[in-house]
Structure 1
Amino acid sequence: MDDRSGGRNDDVVDHPRRDMMVEESCTLIQRSSSPHYESRSGGALSACVGGDGGSLIRHAFNLDQQRFESMGALEILRETIRILRQDSTRFLAIAAVLLCPVSAVILSHAFVSRSLVRRLSLQLLLVVQLSGLPSGLFLKDSCLRVSEMILSAIFCSPLFMTLSVLAKAAIFYSVACAYAGTELSIAKLVAAAAKIWRRLALIYLWISLVILTVVALFVVLLTTACNTFMIFGAPADLIKYAALALTVVFFVAFAHTIIICNLATVVSVLENSSGPQTLLRSLFLIKEQRQVGLLIFLGSTAGLAFVEGLFEYRVKTLSYGDGTSRIWEGPLLVIMYSFLLLIDSMMSAVFYFTCRSSCLETMGGISQEASPKFSGLAPAQ
């Protein structure tokens, strides 16, 4: 291990022209690949399985010595399905025990008061109208949806900080187990996730703060821009187009923010990192794979939104028949939503390995020791 560590240090010294940011990031990668670092990052897992938990992550990265080529969104989806088929019982059990309750609450908005939703949506609509935007059915519906999302995130945060983060941690550990060829029971995986719950809760709070900041910044910019156009006597159509342009920019920035936050969750589980440095770490890892992450985000968001729409109009809103179909359609849609959450979390884990391998490959010689191969993996002996 000393020889390999020395080789990695030589690789870094051989590039004196790299700027300070790249050198620090390279040092961070070397630390995360070292046994000392991984033994700390796998400490929770080690306590549960009675061995070196860091070896699980180390095996996942050292299974193949060949240079790794970055995977696209479809390749990541295929790899996710391959891992799911390889150990379907484990992943489906995690989804049934931890994700199904979360899905049921998200779809039904069980903890959200309809009166509070209407009150908040009216306040948002008033703010939008004061900014100069013309009110319409689309704007009213958008305010209603945003109000539901805000209140759901507030009232369901205890559920998200317990079942949701534990489910993600167990899924990320399971993907690492699949690459390392390690067999661990579901109970041990959940116990390992519970050991690092405080770190997961901390990154959840930081992610919530980042998302809230991005949304608040968009509202301030939108209101300021519309009021500025109104002061200079701009026509209503120009204000509408300016607001539309700002909205498009916001959605692009919001999508990138969600991608970075999802990757930060994986980093907080598989590496010894927490708090703001986790977000910085994920920001560095994703810089070569932004387009792939955006495609994954769009696919996952479209699938989840489709199931939410079905639940809204076929279960919550009685639009046909006598309503008896709710008995089987409701649970079916909850299962579908849980399965999509499972696939999304698994793809995030595979995407993490892809980003890390791509980052190491960009750095140079380090990648020959730390790059995993995602197809045809043989179990570790």
Structure 2
Amino acid sequence: MDREPEELQFLGLIGIYKESLKIIFTCRRVFTKITLALILPLTFIFLAHIQISELIFSKIIRNEVDLDSTRSGTPSYYRLSDRISSEWTTFWLFKATYFLFFLIFSLLSTSAIVYSVASIYTSKELTFKKVMTVVPKVWKRLMVTFLWNFIIVFFYNVVAGLFFILALIGIAPGTTRGVVLIGLLVLYFIGIVYISIVWHLASVISVLEDLKGIQAMIKSEALIKGKKWIASAIFVKLNLGFLFIQMAFEKSVVHGEELGMGNRVLYGMICFFLLLKLFLFGLVVQSVFYFVCKSYHHESIDKSCLADHLEVYLGDYVPLTSKDVQLEQYHV
């Protein structure tokens, strides 16, 4: 980043996008290696999961249809019933395995990109080897933050579910109930989006500061103040792009038998490439947004201190601490 810290606060949505693209092209060799090592497997895992899940689930549906047309109590009925139970077990085990590997590569990718952007910000020499040395140690901090986010989302869903149940029980069927349910649904999605935004910024904080878990979430919530609309726009636009690619993949590849194998492979490659780029761009934007929020709140991290703590000492990653890094207040 060539900009001075105090200039970052004035970046809007387009400015953040331009700054992110500039960072990617400035160190495209390192980002290309990170993409091939971490983001490529992440993309493959996600798209393969959609295809395989569909194959298993469609097989379950076919067997359940056959089961409905089979007389109860016959050997064929019991064979189909056992087969369906086995397939459901396979389906959920596959989902659990997918989630585990997707989470691991997602945290590793986040660690690598955040560390790389911070290194560029400090004008420190950045190499792929250094990134891969630091990443395995940093991602553990991200896991703690993710677990806290999981707990928060779980309880949020429980409370939201109770409100929906109370609305269904306490309000008689009719227009009023429909309006209340729609209102609750809108509020629910606003809450989920906000929690997600806080978590994404907390992930950056977990890498660059001596905070993790709930402390990182609290710090993230404080930093977002004043930039909520930009944060929301970034989140919604990136997720709409993500959803568009997913829907295109499902329509043209998973359910695109009429297109022919050649076209399905071509569309699959296009979706793969677009999703790969979206993952990389989204993580860089997330990192840049952290520095924008710090600048907006007049918190300027001393670049030399940040650079020192991004170095690897005897193979150990040393995160920023409030003791070592004094946040200077400046006024524009």
The SS at the match of 1:184 is coil
Output one character per residue of 1:279-327: Cα deviation in whole Å (capped at 9) or x when no partner. 1111111112111100100110111001001001000002533232222
Q: Distance in 1 between matches of 2:96 and 2:195?
A: 19
Question: Contact 1:100–1:338 (CA<8 Å) still a contact in 2?
Answer: yes
Q: 1:217 to 1:154 in 2, by over 3 A?
A: farther
Moved more, 74-83 or 319-328: 319-328
Question: Contact 1:67–1:367 (CA<8 Å) still a contact in 2?
Answer: no
Output one character per residue of 1:60-92: Cα deviation in whole Å (capped at 9) or x when no partner. 89x847565332111111111111111112112
Pairing 1:189–2:112 present: no
Q: Distance in 1 between matches of 2:35 and 2:126?
A: 17
Cα deviation for residue 115 of structure 1 reads 4.3
Amino acid at match of 1:84: I
Q: Distance in 1 between matches of 2:12 and 2:239?
A: 18
Question: Contact 1:107–1:334 (CA<8 Å) still a contact in 2?
Answer: yes
Q: What is the identity percentage for the equivalent residue pairs of Structure 1 and Structure 2?
A: 24
Pairing 1:211–2:153 present: yes
Question: Contact 1:108–1:316 (CA<8 Å) still a contact in 2?
Answer: no
Structure 2 equivalent of residue 248 of structure 1:
186
Structure 1 equivalent of residue 200 of structure 2:
262
Question: Contact 2:9–2:293 (CA<8 Å) still a contact in 1?
Answer: no
Output one character per residue of 1:227-257: Cα deviation in whole Å (capped at 9) or x when no partner. 211xxx342x332222111111111111111
Structure 2 equivalent of residue 358 of structure 1:
296
The SS at the match of 2:261 is coil
Question: Contact 2:252–2:259 (CA<8 Å) still a contact in 1?
Answer: no
Q: 1:269 to 1:67 in 2, by over 3 A?
A: same
Structure 2 equivalent of residue 341 of structure 1:
279
Q: 1:74 to 1:65 in 2, by over 3 A?
A: closer
Q: 1:66 to 1:100 in 2, by over 3 A?
A: closer
Cα deviation for residue 201 of structure 1 reads 1.6
Pairing 1:167–2:109 present: yes
Q: Distance in 2 between matches of 1:117 and 1:274?
A: 43
Structure 2 equivalent of residue 102 of structure 1:
42
What pairs up with 1:81-160 in 2 under 5 angstroms? 81-109=21-49, 112=53, 114-115=56-57, 154-160=96-102
Structure 1 equivalent of residue 235 of structure 2:
297
Structure 2 equivalent of residue 53 of structure 1:
none
Structure 2 equivalent of residue 47 of structure 1:
none
The SS at the match of 1:288 is coil
Structure 2 equivalent of residue 375 of structure 1:
none
Structure 2 equivalent of residue 367 of structure 1:
329
Structure 2 equivalent of residue 8 of structure 1:
none
Give me the TM-score of the superposition, normalised by structure 2: 0.74
Amino acid at match of 1:282: S
After the TM superposition, which parts of structure 1 deviate over 6 Å for at least 4 consecutive aligned residues? 116-119, 150-153
Output one character per residue of 1:40-74: Cα deviation in whole Å (capped at 9) or x when no partner. xxxxxxxxxxxxxxxxxxxx89x847565332111
Computed over aligned residues only, the root mean square deviation of the Cα atoms, in angstroms, reads 2.9
Structure 1 equivalent of residue 251 of structure 2:
313
1:74 corresponds, among 2, 14, 19, to 14
Q: Distance in 2 between matches of 1:209 and 1:322?
A: 44
Structure 2 equivalent of residue 288 of structure 1:
226
Pairing 1:239–2:177 present: yes
Q: Distance in 1 between matches of 2:284 and 2:95?
A: 22
The SS at the match of 1:332 is helix
Q: Distance in 2 between matches of 1:68 and 1:218?
A: 37
Gaps of 5+ in 1: 1-59, 120-149, 372-381
Question: Contact 1:357–1:367 (CA<8 Å) still a contact in 2?
Answer: no
Q: Distance in 2 between matches of 1:213 and 1:117?
A: 34
Gaps of 5+ in 2: 62-91, 301-326
Amino acid at match of 2:108: L
1:325 corresponds, among 257, 263, 278, to 263
Q: Distance in 2 between matches of 1:152 and 1:227?
A: 37
